[in-house]
Amino acid sequence: MGIQHGPATGAHRAVRPGPPRWAVALAAVALVALGVVVGLLVAPRSGGTPAVAAPTVVTSPVSAAPATSHPTMLGEVVRVDSGDEVVVRVGGTETVVAVLGIAAPRSAGPQRATGECGAAEALRFADRTLSGQTVTLVPDPTIPEVDDAGRRLAYVVLPSQLSYTDAALLAGVVAADTSRPLWYAPVFAREQSEAVADDRGLWGAPCRATPGEPFPPER
């Protein structure tokens, strides 16, 4: 065993011989194997859904929607039933579509003795914007294709790539729907806030609706 002179204080330390080369090689192989095992443990499983950050700015679900197993459909709007429900003919079959992201006030009818304020305005806006249009029905990846009533759940996107959901919220004729965990919920909340700040539609006279609360009765 050799002795190496230490610092100027006169202290000494023993210099131990290094490990054999075969031990170094074995340790290297073990480290590589450990890295492979750790990689397998942390890698996403086949078929799993990776976490995807929600977009901060979205103008249309068509251009920004994440991959989804639900089909995107092309059809023609043949009837508008309310500010958030339309009938679309797809491949010769008519289907009722509940427009995602919005909740429109309801008119009086068999199940509602008193209408909600703004129902007529919401219906007129939807009719003017959608009737006779060829639209794309875009699903949301976070929810089923249809609801319990058999209505197709989709965003209705115009040929201009404008989503009707965005248009109606910015016009203030509908409220943002918070009953479902939609992919674009933060976008819809911002659009509603803009309409509320400007007293557009429901949020101004005569309705003076309050976000998060039931629509006031028809006036």
* CATH of 70-203 among 2.40.50.90, 3.30.1330.10, 1.10.10.10, 3.40.50.920: 2.40.50.90
Taking the domains of the chain in order of start, what are their residue ranges?
A: 70-203
Pairing relationship of beta strands 93-99 and 3-5 according to DSSP bridges: unpaired
| pLDDT higher than 90, residue 78 | yes
Instruction: Dig out the tokens for 19 from the structure.
Output: 């490990």
Q: In the prediction, which pLDDT does 63 show?
A: 46
User: Which is higher by pLDDT, 131 or 6?
Assistant: 131
State residue 9's pLDDT score: 31
State the DSSP code for 163.
B
pLDDT tens for residues 106-129?
999 877 778 999 999 999 999 999
Question: Which own/partner contact pairs does 187-191 have at CB distance under 8 Å and 24+ positions apart?
Answer: 187/55, 187/57, 187/58, 188/101, 188/102, 191/166
pLDDT at 31: 37
Mean pLDDT of 143-163: 96
pLDDT in tens, 11-30: 333 334 445 544 444 444 34
Q: What is the pLDDT of residue 70?
A: 76
If pLDDT is split at 50, 70 and 90, which confidence band does 34 have? very low
Question: Is the pLDDT assigned to residue 47 strictly greater than 80?
Answer: no
How high does pLDDT run on average in the chain?
78
pLDDT of residue 113: 79
**What's the confidence (pLDDT) of residue 112?**
75
Does residue 38 surpass a pLDDT of 80?
no
What pLDDT score does 219 carry? 79
Mean pLDDT of all residues in 54-70: 49
Element (H, E) at 164: helix 164-171
Q: Which residues contact 4 (CB under 8 A, 6 or more apart)?
A: 12, 13, 15
